[in-house]
Structure 1
Amino acid sequence: MTGTTQNQSSLELSPIGNCQVSALVDPSGAFVWSCVPRVDGDPVFCSLLNGDRRSEGVWTFALEDQVSASQHYVRNTPILVTRLESADGSAVEIFDFAPRFERSGRMYRPVAFARIVRPVAGAPRLKVTLAPMRDYGAQLAETTHGTNHIRYLIGPQALRLSTDAPVGYILEGRCYRVESDQHFFLGPDEPFVGNIRSEVRQMEAGTRRYWQHWVRGLHVPLEWQEEVIRAAIALKLCQHEETGAIVAALTTSIPEAPGSERNWDYRFCWIRDSYYTVQALNRLGALDVLEKYLAYLRNIVDSARGGQIQPLYSVMGDSELTEGAASHLAGYRGMGPVRIGNAAYSQIQHDCYGQIVMPTAQAFFDHRLLRMADERDFVRLEEVGEMAWRMHDQPDAGLWEFRTRQEVHTYSAVMCWAACDRLANVAEELEKGDRVSFWRERAEAIRQRIENDAWYEEGGHYGASFSSDYLDASLLQMAELRFISPDDERFRSTFAAIERDLRRGDHMLRYAAEDDFGAPETAFNVCTFWLIEALKLVGRNAEAREMFDSMLGHTTRSGLLSEDLDYETGELWGNFPQTYSLVGIINCAGLLSKPWSEVR
């Protein structure tokens, strides 16, 4: 991505986390975004959205006369290493992680972060700034302290920093010489048990071991392995393991384009985004994420009781996500508002029925799962299918979540077809012949409706809705969903029309028509990956690989992408890291890679 001025926020960020909490770390090693006690909580580190008040809501380490900083992850982990160097050659390395490993028969993933500072050259002099905030940037947390700890009051709870570094120097913001390793544990407000040096080191070793063993179980493609592994780790960090929910991104209100006010809170579980996430991770064999998400879905379906499924829920399954604004935060580069909650929860989006059925259907076939689905699950899943049948030709806000208009969107109708089609497959596996016929007939009826009402003979392509002939990139998913063959002339002509109208160089718009906020100004990264997939499917292999390499050139140094990209400057915009975009990396790498047989 393009550079930014030193005092300007940037999406050049690296996530750490443990599937309970996460933090985004900037290139200098500063925590600039982190919410507690979970991803949709109060951002105690919020300088990313704090405008000119970037010294508040941050946790930094800085050397006296510092001249450079560099970063890398410990191989196959989200443990981040930042090296700081000063003008006289002195240097330290900072190891940042959120503890995650098995202990006492369960996964230890506390609301906590650990940091280890190691002097590696000269006589470095260090300044520590730890300034968490509360109530969405309303004020700095008040502090109390003891000999080896500092308490930060962040509301009804408190965070406690336990450390073997000089507490007085941290409180007063003084520089001091670092002559041996120092250990910092910011976590629950309770006494730290054991020797902090040995305990934090054991946490780092356990966390490293956990992640490297998790990655070891992935089935990665031959090519682009590092890119796929990094995307997979980031996707797993977007799962709230307690419930299985998967959030669309770790941030709120990074605008889709400068000054656009397209600032949305993505710290929630969209049924659609989660479907794509588990689909991609399933292709890599990461069944743990799928299993936990299926449990989350079962709770959502139970709560709906055969009724309307919302497009999104909180990570705890809450259905009401009232949208408001954090008045004390200026926004990314001062571009507010900073939104809390998302009004899309009250929208009607009918594609969600297919996105519930499809991942759940796997549980009837996959014998690797600890809990396979059974006939009781099929009965509940048929309730979702009934809603898909009832709603397949009804207007909705669509996958792009239009706020001021509704149409019968083709993508939503195709997803309803997929729900019925997959239910027929499940019924066949369960040897329920009558239900096979029932769901096949419904799937065929929806197919005929789509063919009749979404096909525009004059333009020679499918339209984005039944009532208009404008195009959107989601139509490319018709082949991925097996609604149509990529060799079908209708798909090829639709692809040609989409490429003509929506492609911008090596990037793709989701649509070109004006919406509630005017015409889109940036490319939507997952749509570019859909374009790459379509190029491969129609035989334009070399072009697909070239475009994929171009997209990888836009990733951050941490190997990740946000939601949107300025197709003229190459700068990233939108919430970060975006699950949609990371799914695109994984899917395209798997589709385009040479087979492993070539090295055997």
Structure 2
Amino acid sequence: MSQRIEDYALIGDCETAALVGRNGSIDWLCWPAFDSDACFAAILGGSKNGCWRIAPTGDITGTSRRYLGNTLILETRFETKSGTVALVDFMPPRGKASDIVRLVRGVSGKVKMRMQLVIRFGFGADIPWVRRGEHGALLAIAGQDMTVLRTPAKTRGEDFTTVAEFEVAAGETVPFVLTYGPSHLDPPEPIDPEIALRETEKFWDDWCSRCTRDGAYRDLILRSLITLKALTFAPTGGIVAAPTTSLPEKLGGARNWDYRFCWLRDATFTLLALMNSGYTEEALAWHNWLLRAVAGAPANMQIMYGIWGQRRLLEWEAGWLDGYEGAQPVRVGNAAHAQLQLDVYGELIDAFHQSRMAKLKLDHESWALECAVLNHLAEVWDHPDHGIWERRGQPRHYVFSKVMTWVAFDRGIKSAETFGFKAPLLHWRTLRDAIHREVCNKGFDAAENAFVESYGSKLLDASLLLLPAVGFLPPSDPRIRGTIAAIEKHLIRNGFVLRHDPREVSGETQPVEGAFLACSLWLADAHVLSGDLEKAQVLFDRVAGLANDVGLLAEEYDSVARRQTGNFPQALTHIALVNTAHNLSAARHGSEKPAMQRSK
């Protein structure tokens, strides 16, 4: 039986990341980077598709795990009748090569252990050629990829896998180090696993010491920030939405997408989460990634890019993988990169404005790029698009998309006025006002007393919760209050907010899925802005309470099955958690600007 999504923990080296199951098995790893082919893909198939398990051979009477302090060093403890053993897993910050270190430490008694290494490059399809190298190193090679296993444990081949059986007593440590390298080069040099452990601990301790957040939510915020740092591709500053692909939004369903890319949509919330927590260096790196990624003709701007800024993210299906609990298809790449989604223009300009307001030192070319983007947006803002949720049907006039085009011109105007930039302000003000009127006239349903998903629709959409946050209308406006009330009436299931309206109105149908966790936090933010802190607190606590035993959250939650669903861990969920925690703290203490008041 497969592990539940929430049974996994994350380790990483800020260039890629692996998922470690509660059972001691690494079931997902793309090497050498987030967007590389997976060499462990068991989470989307089975052990035959690649995994690396280290666990006791006998009956396990108890299992517990934790991160060691404020680090990404995972310790899993297995209790058996003969003793207790700790498995310490981590990936050192990237040196010349990428390593996974697994230390088997005896805690009490003596425990018989088994190590099973199944390397399958090419998303679980390619069985490598395995041979012995110098000093007992075990090399696995297929095509461009090579891994090197170094351990004092005696290993042997068994049915196209590498196994080792050994015993560890109290006070003893048996190390395993698996290193990636290009197959045409010499094997990477070995590392000292104990030194690597100390250096990794220092890296995370030093990084966490820069966090400026204190108070009741510090631990929760810090774990989310560590996760966000782990999802950052250090060479470029790009942040992936998740390290996984095709973990289903609905168990057994077909809404399985590749999230190992960087979405412009997350830009502003990411910046706010980082800047409000003291991480201006990471915020600037993210801003500079945005600048490089969108450079070029504004008409060619995409909603997402690769970690290096790649633009062609062609989608294909890995038909040999069964899918997580049978959820088909397994997709690699994401065809939504070619969609027109107008809201990303507002996200981009808003992110640049927030960066300036935070006094980040921006590239002098930033304003010229923004002007080019706004000039293009002036020509296309009234086009239908595919919306924030990347619907793959016919384009529509989505209300949130239109609101974010308003945001684009609004922030452009504010930046020009605040910083003295040259701009066609009269033209931008005219467009801003025209968009506002159109949205209020065509995107508001008087009978429902709420803004709706798209022009002419009767359905709602959780992205409408962001209208007061971006400053489109004040929280006290009756239309905003009506929208929040309608969403609470129609989009909440078992205490959580759905992103799509579950009703079927006039033949319109919506995707079936779990609750999108960021949306519940957006509702909490809307309540903070409206002054209803108790409602906000209940929602925040409800979402925070879903985090697994090591503080990680997926994209969605199936409140019927009571399971996390979707790609994992999800950057947007953790970003929203950080921002809502900040908003609640600021509102209760009245000393800080709430993070979501982006119009200021």
Give the TM-score normalised by the residue count of structure 1. Answer: 0.91
For residues 28-47 of structure 1, the C-alpha deviation after alignment (integer angstroms, 9 at most, x for no partner) is 22111110121111111111
For the Cα contact (< 8 Å) 1:396–1:406, is it kept in 2? yes
Mapped partners of 1:59, 1:296: distance in 2: 34
Separation of aligned partners in 2, 1:350 and 1:388: 8
- Cα shift at 1:249: 1.0
Please give the secondary structure, in 1, of the residue aligned with 2:114: strand
CA distance in 2, matches of 1:580, 1:394: 27
Task: Name the structure 1 match of 2:565.
Answer: 573
**Change in CA separation of 1:518 and 1:482 when aligned onto 2, cut-off 3 Å:** closer
* TM-aligned CA deviation for residue 485 of structure 1: 0.9
User: Does 2:125 match 1:138?
Assistant: yes
Q: Deviations over 1:87-118 (max 9, x none)?
A: 21x22212211111xxxxxx737422122222
Deviation at 1:436, TM superposition (A): 4.3
Distance in 2 of aligned mates of 1:256 and 1:420: 34
Q: Is the 1:20–1:110 contact (alpha carbons within 8 Å) kept by the matching residues of 2?
A: no
What is the alpha-carbon distance in structure 2 between the residues aligned to residue 339 and residue 77 of structure 1?
31
Q: Does 1:80 align with 2:74?
A: yes
Deviation at 1:192, TM superposition (A): 5.5
- Alpha-carbon distance change, 134 to 310 in structure 1, aligned in 2, over 3 angstroms: same
Question: How far apart are 1:433 and its partner, in Å?
Answer: 6.3
Q: What is the aligned counterpart of 2:445 among 434, 437, 456?
A: 456
Alignment of 1:419-438 (within 5 A): 419-432=408-421, 435-438=424-427
* 2:235 is the counterpart of 1:242: yes
CA distance in 2, matches of 1:385, 1:285: 30
Instruction: Give the aligned partner of residue 104 of structure 1.
Output: none
- Specify the alignment match of 1:491 in structure 2: 480
Could you tell me which residue of structure 1 aligns to residue 467 of structure 2?
478
- Which of 398-407 and 431-440 deviates more? 431-440
Match of 2:578 among 572, 582, 586: 586
User: Using the alignment, how far apart are the partners of 1:337 and 1:192 within structure 2?
Assistant: 36
Query: 2:57 matched to 1:64?
Result: yes
1:209 paired to 2:202: yes
Instruction: For 2:589 and 2:337, locate their aligned partners in 1 and report how far apart those are by CA, in whole Å.
Output: 46
Inter-CA distance 343–176: structure 2 relative to 1 (3 Å threshold): same
Aligned to 2:29: 34
1:281-300 equivalences in 2 (<5 Å): 281-300=274-293
> 1:503 is matched with which residue?
492
CA offsets 1:238-257 (integer angstroms, 9 cap, x no match): 12122222211111111111
Structure 2 counterpart SS, 1:587 = helix
What SS is found at the alignment partner of 1:479?
coil
- Distance in 2, matches of 1:28 and 1:143, equals 26
CA distance, structure 2, for counterparts of residue 433 and residue 379 of structure 1 = 10
Deviation at 1:266? 0.9
Please, which of 327, 333, 342 is the counterpart of residue 350 of structure 1?
Answer: 342
Q: Which one of the candidate residues 301, 304, 322 is aligned to 2:314?
A: 322
| Aligned mates of 2:251, 2:188 — CA distance in 1 | 44
Alignment of 1:63-212 (within 5 A): 63-67=56-60, 68-88=62-82, 90-100=83-93, 108=95, 110-146=97-133, 147-168=135-156, 173-179=163-169, 180-189=172-181, 190-191=186-187, 193=189, 196=191, 199-212=192-205
The amino acid of 2:203's aligned partner reads: Y
Cα distance in 1 for residues equivalent to 2:513 and 2:146: 42
1:147-179: CA deviation from partner (whole Å, max 9, x where unpaired): 431111143220111223334499762422235
Q: What's 1:440 paired with?
A: 429
Q: Distance in 1 between matches of 2:260 and 2:508?
A: 22
Q: Aligned partners of 2:517, 2:96: CA distance in 1, in Å?
A: 31
Alpha-carbon distance in 2 for matches of 1:533, 1:192: 48
What amino acid maps onto 1:77 in structure 2?
Answer: T
Task: Report the residue type matching 2:139 in the other structure.
Answer: R
Amino acid corresponding to residue 23 of structure 1 in structure 2:
A
The one-letter code matched in structure 2 to 1:447 is: H
Partner of 1:24: 19
- Cα 1:479–1:110 shift into 2, 3 Å: farther
Show structure 1 runs of 5+ residues with no match: 1-5, 101-106
Instruction: Report the alpha carbon displacement of residue 137 of structure 1 after superposing the two structures with TM.
Output: 1.4
| Contact map agreement 1:248 1:267 (CA 8 A) in 2 | yes
Q: Which residue of 2 aligns with 1:103?
A: none
Give the Cα–Cα distance (whole angstroms) in 2 for the partners of residues 85 and 414 of structure 1: 55
What does residue 547 of structure 1 align with? Answer: 539
Instruction: Please say if residues 135 and 155 of structure 1, whose CA atoms lie closer than 8 Å, have aligned partners that are also in contact.
Output: no
Distance 2:565 2:162 in 1: 36
* 1:340 Cα deviation after fit: 0.8
Q: Is the 8 A contact 2:252 2:325 kept in 1?
A: no
Q: Secondary structure at the match of 2:215?
A: coil
- Asked if the contact 1:43–1:134 (Cα under 8 Å) also holds between the matched residues in 2, the reply is yes
- Residue identity matched to 1:114: V
Whether the 8 Å CA contact 2:48–2:124 is kept in 1: the answer is no
- Cα deviation code 1:516-538 (max 9, x no counterpart): 98542321111111112222222
Q: CA RMSD in A?
A: 2.4
- CA offsets 1:488-533 (integer angstroms, 9 cap, x no match): 1111111111111111231011122569985423211111111122
Return closer, same or farther for 1:345/1:519 CA change in 2, 3 Å cut-off: closer
Q: Distance in 1 between matches of 2:422 and 2:513?
A: 51
The answer to whether the 8 A contact 1:357-1:422 is kept is: yes
**Letter aligned with residue 469 of structure 1:** K
Identity over aligned residues, as a percent? 31
Greater CA drift, 229-238 or 441-450: 441-450
Which residue of the other structure, out of 220, 242, 245, is the alignment partner of 1:252? 245
1:311-341 superposed Cα distances (whole Å, 9 cap, x missing partner): 1122122222221111121110122211111
Q: Pick one of 207, 218, 223 that aligns with 1:225.
A: 218
How far is the alpha carbon of 1:265 from its aligned partner? 0.9
Residues 222 and 595 of structure 1 are in contact (CA less than 8 Å); yes or no, is this contact kept in structure 2? no
CA drift of 1:306 comes to: 2.8
Residues 19-72 of structure 1: CA deviation (Å, up to 9, x unaligned): 11110111122111110121111111111111xx33651111111314132110
Partner of 1:334: 326
Name the stretch that deviates more: 349-358 or 145-154: 145-154
Partner AA of 1:206 in structure 2: E
Any idea what SS the aligned residue of 2:123 has? coil
Distance of 1:467 and 1:490 partners within structure 2: 17
Measure, in 1, the Cα distance between the counterparts of 2:346 and 2:279.
21
Partner of 1:124, secondary structure, is strand
Which structure 2 residue ranges, 5 or more long, are not aligned? 592-600
For 1:225, the aligned partner's letter is R
The equivalent residue for 1:46 is 41
3-state SS of 1:581 partner: helix
Give the direction of change, closer, same or farther, for the CA distance of 1:211–1:509 in structure 2 (3 Å limit). same
Classify 1:200/1:285 alpha carbon distance in 2 versus 1 (closer, same or farther; 3 Å): same
Specify the alignment match of 1:407 in structure 2: 396
Change in Cα spacing, 1:154 to 1:37, as seen in structure 2 (3 Å) is farther
What is the identity, as a one-letter code, of the residue corresponding to 1:321? L
* Count of matched residue positions in the alignment of Structure 1 and Structure 2: 578
The CA deviation string for residues 526-578 of structure 1, in whole angstroms up to 9 with x for no partner, is 11111122222223322221222122221111211111111223211111111
Structure 2 CA distance for aligned equivalents of residues 592 and 153 of structure 1: 52
